[in-house]
């Protein structure tokens, strides 16, 4: 068994508070490590857990968790917590987990989750949409659909993502939801397998035949999973296709590293835009 045998690998570092008097990780913490990896699993499926479970009409409950300890982890160890969905029954989903230090196997587990009605806490069949999504993910297939289109086609999804990210999370004014550039911009929306819009961005054509990317927003529960990169990539390709000679954007300080990794370069001095310190960044095409 190796970390590469799994689609989902969560990485962590052992903290001082997690080791016991024997200077090894206290046994109960491993269940917490697996639980954190399960949260990553839903993120990797592009499912914002709460909204997804509401749409699916149930919740997932742990019915059984068994852990086997092979070797000990110690303070400061870097661990890889790997998970896979081994099988889906009628109402149950069985996950196999393994914790590695490098390629050394330390701990294995089996987690039985049951899909159930939250009011009565009685089991229900795993919805077909969730079943096929997990099967596709485990087979290494893409689970995201990115649509590029006009405002008239995508405005409901774009507005709802922006409302959640800019208005609710960042407390921006309600006008942050849309402006006069939206009507002529090209929009990209990422949809998960349940058809929920989870990220968006837009490309505005500037008078000097460059494209300006703005309003990039990813559902807060799904950040850090490559969805922002996917939206950005789709907008860059759209810009290339229509013949722009350059793509530019205004990056808030906290997002600068993200755009640098995607091949953007900084230009000029930082400036304040809507109360935020920003840097102009560009990428020649």
Ligand X SMILES: CC(C)(COP(=O)(O)OP(=O)(O)OC[C@H]1O[C@@H](n2cnc3c(N)ncnc32)[C@H](O)[C@@H]1OP(=O)(O)O)[C@@H](O)C(=O)NCCC(=O)NCCS
- Judged by CB under 6 A, which of 112, 144, 159, 255 binds ligand X? 112
- Residue 28 or 285 with smaller CB distance to ligand X: 28
Binding mask 31-70 for ligand X (x = CB under 6 A): ------------------------------xxxx------
In the complex, which residue's CB is closest to ligand X? 89
Residue 269 token pair: 């001095």
Residues 76-105 that bind ligand X (CB under 6 A): 89-92
Separation between Cα atoms, residue 235 and residue 53, nearest integer Å: 30
- Residue 91 or 214 with smaller CB distance to ligand X: 91
Q: Does 114 bind ligand X (CB under 6 A)?
A: yes
- Judged by CB under 6 A, which of 7, 123, 172, 214 binds ligand X? 123
Q: What is the dihedral of CA 163, 274, 153, 225, to 10 degrees?
A: -70
Residues 6+ apart with CB under 8 A from 252: 276, 277, 278
Residue 188 token pair: 């990209």
CB count in 10 Å sphere of residue 122: 10
48 φ/ψ angles, rounded to the nearest 5 degrees:
-70, 110
- Residue 112 or 144 with smaller CB distance to ligand X: 112
- Least gap, CB of 95 to ligand X (angstroms): 12
Contact in structure between 239 and 284 (CB atoms under 8 Å): no
- Judged by CB under 6 A, which of 36, 54, 121, 170 binds ligand X? 121
Separation between Cα atoms, residue 31 and residue 29, nearest integer Å: 5
Q: Which stretch binds ligand X (CB under 6 A): 36-44, 113-121, 165-173, 199-207?
A: 113-121
Q: Does 206 bind ligand X (CB under 6 A)?
A: no
Taking CA 188 as the corner, what is the angle to CA 10 and CA 45, rounded to the nearest 5 degrees? 25
Q: Does 130 bind ligand X (CB under 6 A)?
A: no
Where on the chain is the footprint of ligand X (CB under 6 A)? 61-64, 89-92, 112, 114, 116, 121, 123
């Amino acid at each position: 068994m190796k970390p590469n045998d799994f689609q989902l690998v969560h990485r962590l570092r052992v903290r001082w508070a997690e080791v016991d008097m024997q200077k090894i990780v206290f046994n109960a913490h491993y269940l917490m490590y697996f639980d954190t990896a399960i949260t990553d699993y839903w993120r990797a499926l592009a499912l914002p857990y709460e909204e997804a479970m509401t749409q699916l009409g149930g919740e997932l409950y742990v019915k059984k968790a068994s852990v086997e300890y092979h070797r000990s982890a110690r303070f400061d160890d870097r661990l890889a917590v790997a998970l896979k969905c081994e099988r889906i029954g009628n109402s149950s989903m069985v996950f196999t987990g393994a914790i590695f230090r490098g390629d050394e196997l330390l701990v294995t587990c089996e987690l039985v989750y049951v899909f159930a009605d939250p009011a009565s806490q009685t089991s229900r069949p795993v919805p077909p949409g969730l079943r096929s999504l997990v099967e596709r993910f485990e087979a290494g297939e893409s689970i995201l659909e990115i649509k590029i289109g006009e405002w008239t086609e995508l405005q409901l999804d774009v507005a709802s993502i922006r409302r959640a990210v800019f208005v609710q999370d960042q407390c921006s004014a309600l006008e942050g939801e849309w402006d006069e550039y939206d009507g002529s911009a090209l929009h990209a929306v990422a949809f998960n397998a349940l058809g929920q819009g989870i990220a968006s961005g837009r490309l505005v054509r500037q008078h000097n035949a460059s494209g300006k990317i703005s309003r990039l927003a990813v559902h807060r529960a799904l950040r850090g999973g490559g969805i922002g990169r996917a939206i950005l990539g789709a907008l860059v390709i759209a810009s290339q296709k229509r013949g722009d000679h350059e793509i530019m954007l205004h990056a808030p300080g906290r997002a600068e590293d993200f755009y640098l990794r995607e091949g953007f370069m900084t230009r000029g001095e930082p400036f304040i835009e809507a109360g935020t310190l920003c840097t102009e960044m560009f990428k020649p095409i």
